[in-house]
Amino acid sequence: MYKLEQKTEKDEILKLYTKGFKNPCDFKIGIEYERLPISLSSFKNVDYWSEYGIKNFLELFAKEETWDFINDEKNIIGLKNKHDTITLEPGCQLEISAKPEKTIFDVKKKIEHINSLMKPIADKMNFTFLNYGVSPYITYKAINLIPKRRYKVMARYLWGILSDVMMRETAGIQCCIDFSSEEDAMRKFKLANKLSPFMTAMFANSPIRGGVDTGYKSFRALSWLNTDNDRCGFFGKISEEFSFEDYIDCVLKTPMIFIQRENLNFEVHGDITFEDFMQNGWEGTSPTLSDYELQANLCFPEVRMRNFIEIRNHDCVGGDLKYAILAIYKGIMYNETAMEECEELFKHLQYKDFSELRYNVPKNTLQSRIKKAKALDYAKEIIAIAEKSLKEQQTGEGMFLDSIKEYTMRGITPADVIVKNWNGSWNKNMRKLIKYLSEFE
């Protein structure tokens, strides 16, 4: 039996997941929505400290809207208002995490409300928020980390050749879904992993980086492939036999980055796994449940287990496209028939097929091959299954699929439209790209 400090056992870790069990009638859908703050005069990413930087933006927003500060030591790293938060990613990317809602209409209403509060302040500071997956004009060497201690430690540790790109340049959308039992959670977890490369392909939206066409439709997805394979990718190889305990074991076997004690971070540099820490301690320190939670949060798989399921693999997209992401998952994950149809769709595919597709998607998106078919063929089926399910749910949320159908049914992605315009009528004009991607245009 694994022992934690204060006689906390592995059963206590399991409770972190089992406490998420909900009655299906109480299922909700959530979004974590990251965007890039971009100066409208220089087209550079907005920094933290400058007069028209994110720190002053947050301070002004908090003052005008009476939100509370989230601090790291004395530095502002976000805001909160009841269950809604606005937080900062390492390179000043701004993330809205809205309270999960029963319908996508309610999620949209909340996001639009928060945007309406942000717009006048952003206008006053002459910047905008881009619905885009990677920094369009400058690269990570010109983007400073925000003053959050954890990020400095992570930047020193993460060993992938594009880990700095991932941390400082990228923005994505995450979808959060509920489960009723361990069996339901694991079924959804496995299915979400299998869906993930197709969803990455459909919503690819990051081809222009550093002012050039990279040749990749999702440079954001490419950066994740080259961040830290110990803690990214698929957890559990999408095994047909998988449990909470198996997921926990994946977390335990991942090298540790640091240990936090009394507001101090002690770097471990990956020398031990959490399993080692539980068995042997580290320099006189024994693990606590909070240490496990930190370790789990420092794992970045395509799909992450919490007391809900967090699906993480989508470029930031604008308009109703972001709600189309939620609509696909709600349509499939909250309908028994839809789940069965997706499982049937994937039944002849093996782990290696999904893994190979994940590596091909950043460049080739829907034209990527998987066995004898294209990702496009599967994407159309996925949308059809979700659409049929949402129609049965009779909530009207099927309308959110229209935005992605405009692309997928033509065999293209948001990135394809950007590349065509960039190399065509825009004539590689950054101002036109920024205007096209701006949230407030």
Question: How far, in Å, CA of 383 to CA of 387, rounded?
Answer: 6
- pLDDT digit string, tens, across residues 38-74: 999 999 999 999 999 999 999 999 999 999 999 999 9
Q: Give the residue among 320, 315, 342, 18 at the shortest CA–CA distance from 182.
A: 18
pLDDT of 119 higher than 90: yes
Q: Give the residue among 213, 175, 165, 151 at the shortest CA–CA distance from 418.
A: 213
Q: Give the residue among 229, 434, 196, 207 at the shortest CA–CA distance from 333.
A: 196
CA dihedral 178, 181, 182, 185 (to 10 degrees): -30
Which residues have C-beta within 8 Å of that of residue 212, sequence separation ≥ 6? Answer: none
Mean pLDDT of 215-243: 93
Mean pLDDT of 245-259: 96
* pLDDT given at position 240: 78
For residue 4, what pLDDT band results from cuts at 50, 70 and 90? low
Question: How far, in Å, CA of 386 to CA of 395, rounded?
Answer: 13
In whole numbers, what is the pLDDT of the chain averaged over residues?
95
Question: How far, in Å, CA of 374 to CA of 263, rounded?
Answer: 50
pLDDT of 75 higher than 90: yes
Domains of the chain: 3-437 (3.30.590.20)
Tokens of 27: 């299922």
- pLDDT digit string, tens, across residues 153-191: 999 999 999 999 999 999 999 999 999 999 999 999 999
Which residues have C-beta within 8 Å of that of residue 71, sequence separation ≥ 6? Answer: 77
pLDDT of 237 higher than 80: no
- pLDDT digit string, tens, across residues 355-385: 999 999 999 999 999 999 999 999 999 999 9
pLDDT of 432 higher than 70: yes
- pLDDT digit string, tens, across residues 132-157: 999 999 999 999 999 999 999 999 99
